[in-house]
Structure 1
């Protein structure tokens, strides 16, 4: 593939994949349900602190091995020789399915916003339907894939324009809400932790304590900051990747932080009645716009801006997702590896990996088709899987540092602070993955069940089974070559 990306466009690309403030406005429902406004606010602050250590660790590892495979290629450089193949294989699987789930979740959010827009524009013949939202998600994923295929040569330019929109579109939204929206007192906005489960449509019972409710609501905040490793998966399309990639990982996080914090303050102080936001299975920001602006054309305009930005986030996420799957297939780590690891001769993109990503979105939508927490499941599954791949990479790197072994050369390094920064990043990743397995409601049923534990175990079983199959074939091939060589020596 050709090297289209340079430093500025790469920072824009990573900032958009994270899509921090857009996703905060769109997907904060579970956090409002579990912990309230204060729970969302302080979870976001805590996650920024933990994410900083992770970002620094990812930047250093990407400088040591700037390759599209990311985590599984890092593990192959850090792990002990006898565990290298297995750990690398599992890390690659978790990273790949995590990015697939993140892409599906982003498309699912866009579909939800579109449905909300139709409902609020007075179409009396239309009622909210989960299967219809699933079908719309597949359609959006297909549109994003078409853009990635046919506009591949202009992606770097598009990412630069997208980044400008990502920054400047926030200004009118923030100003309008601070001027027009009803204000929440400080005590409610950042000081009142509450369990709002009673406002849910199914009248779910409360958690045993408010503290537990706040902890269960954390995956939303963690997901908002997910995706800083996206740039590593396009490393082969970046000039001087061993320097540019780590810089972009760090600067995209630093650049996104003020926007996210500004949006967070605006949201918690201007969102109005929280019971209205929690009681509906819809994106919270549309209800906030409607309450604050009280003028449907203005609501439609602001909502259209969010839809366009979320489509851009989905486009950038598709790039990272398909490139990682392509790299995984090229290294013969999955079935149909030769097919997945092929670059289209005309479009110069991993065409088959893009198609496979749309298929994965379809499967996830089918799994969650009648679930009231489908978006929460996709977010948690993505969070758990990607953080699991981080845990393996960081664990191997920490062990290598503790054994005082020679690290791969890097032009961007943490120096003597590397070990304790890696340890803090590992603690944060473990914490993030753990809470991603919890349900969003205390009264669990088939319609609100968080399918993340089931999907995670299923992926692990498939990965181990395929690894054993690959190892078995490799052993048979080696024995066959040995017999041929022995026969040749006997004849000689």
Structure 2
């Protein structure tokens, strides 16, 4: 036996022992290394796809200064990531934030966190799939329509679903393709265009070109949503923790790599696109429909544009693959703990690949059903992603709250990654940032559209929480903390 194999076996034995101590029998195959786990988070974040999808919206809102709002959001999410890294190291269990909230805040708090996150994940997977349709229509030269967008979105989701059913190793390879595609995009947009396509002065980063006049602060908050919509996904590194070798060390490292590398990629690509944009005024005025594409076409030509579109599609597919994997592991974790209807089926692994097959089928079916809404709604992707992002941030802050209260009551992390004496400060900053982000996401900005349109996200969250409370009562879920939990429940 090689030294590497011995080392890996030792790490796996240690992780299995920790899992047993937390009350679970090791069932998954630990086939993911650090890079594969990082790929799950980076692919989910998909900074390249997010940047291209939201670039025009941010420019129209406040002009090029939207770049500075991205920096602020990235810094805020870094604090959230640090909180998650500590929890993931202490509780490297499949299901990620559900398990962290459950261990730190009690059974009911954990279930509600998981319930909100579940709907958000399903919406995210469908939303990203639908968001890939415009890239495919440009690549194929097809006129977009609700029917085409729906078919394209479903096709993207089906590829991701097949990758998940093929096993964890294939899943990892698919998400790694997204990383390499993103790096190619970074080389084009953040490297080549920044160096050789530079036509705008640096001062453009402070020039609003007349946008946001009258209430520039409000416009900046709206523009900051580009960062809010992009800079998450690092939590996916913990969703498959039981399939990661040396999870207590690897998962926190993968999370931090995701937020730093993904955030850095998005910032560099933003600079490349801004400095290479030939007609900034038209882009800011909204008369240039696709400023990101115009910048690439100007510098790289038609061939470079096609390469960029192929990379974008690869990023989208890998992102959906990662989200579906996270959703299925969340369902499995809920099922294993008898915390959801159909638990006996959802909480079971099947086959030599040790996959949560039933959970995957449920995830796949719900994703396709949501994408089918696109046949009758032309803006389905925007609606789905707006709700899903808010749901993700709400569930994030439920983990942060649980971690903060647990620390105040004396909980001390015992994993390889610890925040130590800085923990309370980090958690308070993460909470303040998260609450501000949720308010920003829910803020009504179109009074002319009517009450329901403005408060649809808030109403959706309330309905989902109500349904979760009903299921909690149906399952007669105890409030008491878990056996061996060192902090009382919320």
Give the TM interval when normalised to the shorter protein. Answer: 0.7 to 0.9
Q: How far apart, in 2, do the equivalents of 1:282 and 1:463 lie?
A: 41
Q: 2:44 matched to which residue of 1?
A: 17
Between 1:439-448 and 1:259-268, the stretch displaced more is 439-448
Offset at 1:166? 2.9
Aligned twin of 2:418: 413
Cα gap change, 1:253 to 1:310, in 2 (>3 Å) = same
CA distance in 1 between partners of 2:349 and 2:47 (Å): 31
Measured at CA, do residues 362 and 448 of structure 1 come closer, stay the same or move farther in structure 2, by a change above 3 Å? farther
Shift of 1:234: 0.4
> Counterpart of 1:289?
296
Q: 2:199 aligns with which of 163, 179, 183?
A: 183
**TM norm structure 2:** 0.83
1:433-444 alignment, distance < 5 Å: 433-438=438-443, 441=446, 443-444=448-449
1:362 aligns with 2:388: no
Partner of 2:343: 337
The answer as to whether partners of 1:217 and 1:440 remain within 8 angstroms in 2 is no
Q: Is 1:227 equivalent to 2:249 in the alignment?
A: no
The answer to whether structure 1 residue 163 and structure 2 residue 168 are counterparts is no
**Contact 1:219–1:383 at 8 Å: present in 2 too?**
no
Partner of 1:91: 113
SS in structure 2 of the partner of residue 227 of structure 1: coil
Match of 1:54 in 2: 80
1:193 Cα shift? 7.1
* 1:102 positional shift: 1.8
Which residue of structure 2 aligns with residue 37 of structure 1? 64
Partner of 1:481: none
1:4 is displaced (CA, Å) by 0.8
User: C-alpha offsets along residues 103-129 of structure 1, whole Å, 9 cap, x if unaligned?
Assistant: 1222112112112333xx3xxxx5421
CA distance in 1, matches of 2:80, 2:256: 10
Report what 2:188 is aligned to. Answer: 172
Contact persistence 1:72–1:92 (CA under 8 A): yes
Q: CA deviation at 1:12?
A: 2.8
> Structure 1, unaligned stretches of length 5 or more?
197-206, 476-492
Greater CA deviation, 412-421 or 62-71?
62-71
Gaps of 5+ in 2: 1-27, 480-490
**Bigger radius of gyration among the two:** 1
- Structure 1 residues 216, 89: closer, same or farther in 2, change over 3 A? same
Partner of 2:487: none
TM-score normalised over the length of structure 1: 0.82
1:468 corresponds in structure 2 to 473
Q: SS state of the match for residue 449, structure 2?
A: coil
Any idea what SS the aligned residue of 1:465 has? helix
Closer, same or farther in 2 for the Cα pair 1:157/1:48, shift >3 Å?
A: same
